[in-house]
């Protein structure tokens, strides 16, 4: 799909420029809306709910703009439609996405129950909002993190990974480079174990995409991971990741990857 590309570096830089331009445009738009008083109605909501919905709004605007910019760049520089960033030609497997998301949620919830400290923290978190506020946060959060995580998967695993593979002639080097760039994107307030965790998750997502031939399972894992973690702790950062958390993540990623290998074994045999 990407083997016939020319001027690869220039096109890649062009894609990055268009995405940043889209983010900048979204920032200007939010500023204009804020100045016009479009968000004043939110001032009457409970402060805790307003704070978290504000975070959701920023995430949705930033990543929604990135995705729009990405698709514009894909057509402008590569003359390809959106589908080029979703699969390698195989169908986008919705069942694989949903089942991957559910499995990851079960693993995270099971881990929280097994870890008494984390479970107690989540129980205390329920006192932050009333029932209707939780319904709003959970439903809107699912949409927001589908956009956020889906955008990252489209860019890193759907586009960058196969693009680099065609350029460099190695799928595994492409996975490592895409994972490295994905990890750099998440630098900020971060610990050594936080960096290792982001890299491990990125590597798992990259291998899953290569195996399935579609970003579907990676999107499912990524959405459920971010959605549940932010619902449980909206102030969570990678700086809080401990060695114990990283070791637990290794186990979760191994279980999830073994499930994916089993689910896709028939497809691989057929090919």
Tens digits of per-residue pLDDT, 202-215?
Answer: 999 999 999 999 99
- Rounded Cα distance, 137 and 143, in Å: 10
Flag whether pLDDT at 10 surpasses 90: yes
Tens digits of per-residue pLDDT, 71-101?
Answer: 999 999 999 998 999 988 888 999 999 999 9
Instruction: Look at residues 85, 106, 104 and name the one whose alpha carbon lies nearest to residue 152.
Output: 85
- Mean residue pLDDT of the chain comes to 89
- Rounded Cα distance, 72 and 80, in Å: 10
| End-to-end alpha carbon distance in the chain | 17
Tens digits of per-residue pLDDT, 220-233?
Answer: 999 999 999 888 88
pTM over 0.75: yes
Tens digits of per-residue pLDDT, 54-77?
Answer: 889 999 999 999 999 999 999 999
> CB 61: neighbour CB atoms within 10 A?
18
Tens digits of per-residue pLDDT, 114-150?
Answer: 877 766 777 777 888 888 888 999 999 999 999 999 9
Torsion sign (Cα): 63, 67, 73, 76: negative
pLDDT at 269: 45
- Give the C-alpha distances (Å, rounded to integers) separating 78 from 6, 72, 152, 163: 9, 10, 19, 11
pLDDT at 225: 95
């Amino acid at each position: 799909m990407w083997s016939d590309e020319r001027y690869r570096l220039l096109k890649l830089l062009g894609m990055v420029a268009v995405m940043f331009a889209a983010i900048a445009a979204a920032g200007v738009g939010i500023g204009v809306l804020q100045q016009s008083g479009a968000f004043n109605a939110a001032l009457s909501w409970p402060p805790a709910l307003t704070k978290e919905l504000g975070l959701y709004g920023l995430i949705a605007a930033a990543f929604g703009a990135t995705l729009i910019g990405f698709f514009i760049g894909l057509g402008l520089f590569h003359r390809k439609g959106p589908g080029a960033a979703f699969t390698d030609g195989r169908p986008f497997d919705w069942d694989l996405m949903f089942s991957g998301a559910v499995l990851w949620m079960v693993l995270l919830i099971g881990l929280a129950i097994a870890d008494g400290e984390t479970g107690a923290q989540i129980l205390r978190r329920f006192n932050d909002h009333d029932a209707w506020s939780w319904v709003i946060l959970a439903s809107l959060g699912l949409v927001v993190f589908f956009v956020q995580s889906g955008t990252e998967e489209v860019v890193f695993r759907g586009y960058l990974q196969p693009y680099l593979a065609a350029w460099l002639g190695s799928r595994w080097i492409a996975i490592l480079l895409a994972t490295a760039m994905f990890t750099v994107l998440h630098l900020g307030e971060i610990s050594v174990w936080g960096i290792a965790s982001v890299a491990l998750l990125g590597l798992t997502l990259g291998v899953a995409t290569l195996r399935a031939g579609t970003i579907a399972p990676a999107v499912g894992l990524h959405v459920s991971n971010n959605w549940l973690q932010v619902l449980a702790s909206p102030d969570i950062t990678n700086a809080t990741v401990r060695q114990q958390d990283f070791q637990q993540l290794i186990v979760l990623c191994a279980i999830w990857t073994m499930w994916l290998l089993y689910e896709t074994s028939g497809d691989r045999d057929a090919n």
